[in-house]
Chains A and B, each alone.
Chain A
């Protein structure tokens, strides 16, 4: 078990029983040409074009991962639009004709696809890490092959409120497990483990039943603690190996894949269906009917909120992602992207309150920091503008999980200050 961490109120019961019914049908979708780490895609369509469901509409070189039309209809704009990650990103806006006319399938390949073909299908389907990192899954699997002895499937979903992976594992365990086997064929690990926190009773029961057919995959149930889903901490919890600072999981022989990513890999390879939909948890005290939804990528957040009965009068903040690391949105026209696992609507009673300024040196931030940092001294270094102090206390090792800000009794926005501190170091180093 890793050091530190917190136990915030889970609030997952809000969406625990609600099963998604059908796919949401938005009036239009806004598909950003960058939903991954790497260069923005070049658009392959222009205003006025008719596109079909699953048609590739943007692609590029290198780490770039293609994007696809998530509905069928007419392209009404290719222009910069607000992105849930902040700023403006060029996006293809498609008016939905409601028909979901699929793109014509190429002739089916005979026999088992070889390694190159599997990697090609993963890339062509636009699969990226769906736990938040949004790194190209095809590139990752290719690079990690030969270095991995353990494949870890991350089904922890340690952020409060979110139940999207829980719902996926409960409803479509086969997709996830088959996806894992495809990745295992590429990576040839000695050990495959799927890690789930013990607060997901339904998912655990389903997995225990389904896993009888997959003797190679081990289920590991971990005691609930935030930030268990952090790659480094999950690896440590399972193997007691620490990923060295500045290194990758493959450097300790581990490859970590999100559960939703595995399901996307299965669809990409076995069914040649691109990543055009995902499960999104629409939840929080500020929404009328919290639920999990199957949503076409690119659906504006506003439509998800309307489909969930709209915001309550008391709602004050809409967040893409969880309450610990998600990003607050000021514009509800931002779309769901491949990495959006939740739309969270919070009210005043649960939101963080005043912004404190006086550190009383209680040390709780250091006690909960899973990276064993001392946020109070990082805060002090940033306040005093001392870059050398920030470096000495390892500011760049912060994973911004938010434990310190969560626990701080003086209500100091420590993570924000640490982010500012990182920026300061980057500027100094330039």
Chain B
């Protein structure tokens, strides 16, 4: 007789699987990678390759398995994209090793890490090699360095770059952060493919917008807000870092609270912090709260009153 298999129900599964998600994230990053290459040339490609290869090798070393499962490629790529074009090649390599070995595997492996591996690695690099990470070459590699708009805003003053330049990304900054247009294209794709939900990015950006609009000091509020929204790693962070599955909440309200927390911290760190940018530390500070936010903002279970009691009959 033929061999029939049995297993617990359900017997069918959606075609939406982990590798599909990884592929979608990589596809969504194509515009960002292209803009990085256009703006920063061959150097961007070199850094991206260094980051990815470093992560793949470290992952194989940690798991003892050769091969690529996708998540470490995304880690390496995002890490490289959040570095300035002028860093030496070994910076993304060191960052890749740190993110995969220390942040991911020493904290329990895939799905168990508390902190976003990319941002934790970036924080580590910023701590150890601050000089390399705070010089930003402008468009092209002519050896000129440019202050990012955020440097000016720390003074505080409106930066010299136009909002159009910031939208397209032809300003000083990290290789994947500067082109708002490219990131928005990627975000639209991720939302359409339902890889990410709108809650976190919207709450995050909305909070930054409201706070900068309210506390604009002596600058024109709307312009001040726009510069804040378009500059630095805010958008890349809101779309790709704060939405990292492992280190963010799953409940809708938890996600909104998480986004608001990230926004508040970003504005505080940008205004009063040592560095002009605050996205990295803001999201890292919120990461450990992901689980607690899910608990606090757990949705009401069907047939229960809020708070957990069973619903009684109503007259």
Interface residues of A (CB under 8 A from B): 2-3, 6, 8, 160, 232, 236, 242-247, 251-252, 311, 315-319, 323-330, 332, 344, 346, 350-353, 356, 358-364, 366, 370-374, 376-377, 393-394, 397, 400, 402, 405-411, 413, 415-416, 419
A323 touches which of B11, B247, B251 (Cβ 8 Å): B11
A405 touches which of B3, B10, B71, B310 (Cβ 8 Å): B10
- The CA-CA distance from A394 to B71 in the complex, in Å, is 32
Report B-chain residues with C-beta under 8 Å of the C-beta of A2: 302
CB within 8 Å of A: which B286-304 residues: 294, 298-304
Report B-chain residues with C-beta under 8 Å of the C-beta of A352: 7, 10-13
- Min CB–CB distance A363 → chain B (angstroms): 3
CB of B2 within 8 A of CB of A372, answer: no
A interface, over-half SS: loop
B17 at the interface (CB under 8 A from A): yes
- Min CB–CB distance B79 → chain A (angstroms): 19
B interface, over-half SS: loop
CB of B18 within 8 A of CB of A394, answer: no
Report B-chain residues with C-beta under 8 Å of the C-beta of A344: 11
- The CA-CA distance from A397 to B10 in the complex, in Å, is 18
- Could you list 24 examples of A-B contacts with CB < 8 Å? A242-B302, A244-B311, A244-B312, A245-B302, A319-B11, A324-B12, A325-B10, A328-B5, A328-B11, A329-B6, A350-B12, A351-B11, A356-B18, A359-B111, A360-B110, A363-B250, A363-B251, A366-B299, A371-B301, A374-B294, A374-B298, A393-B298, A410-B17, A415-B10
Residue of B nearest to A242 (CB): B303
Interface size of B in residues (CB-CB distance below 8 Å):
42
- Min CB–CB distance A284 → chain B (angstroms): 10
- The CA-CA distance from A323 to B9 in the complex, in Å, is 7
- The CA-CA distance from A353 to B302 in the complex, in Å, is 30
- Min CB–CB distance A280 → chain B (angstroms): 18
- The CA-CA distance from A160 to B14 in the complex, in Å, is 13
CB within 8 Å of A: which B262-315 residues: 294, 298-304, 308, 310-313
CB of A372 within 8 A of CB of B302, answer: yes
Contact status of A372 and B300, CB under 8 A, knowing A323-B12, A409-B18, A416-B8? yes
Contact status of A311 and B2, CB under 8 A, knowing A325-B10, A352-B12? yes
- The CA-CA distance from A361 to B310 in the complex, in Å, is 28
- Min CB–CB distance B293 → chain A (angstroms): 12
Chain A CB count within 10 A is highest, among B21, B299, B302, for: B302
CB of A374 within 8 A of CB of B4, answer: no
- Min CB–CB distance A346 → chain B (angstroms): 6
A397 touches which of B8, B20, B110, B303 (Cβ 8 Å): B303
CB of A317 within 8 A of CB of B312, answer: no
B246 at the interface (CB under 8 A from A): yes
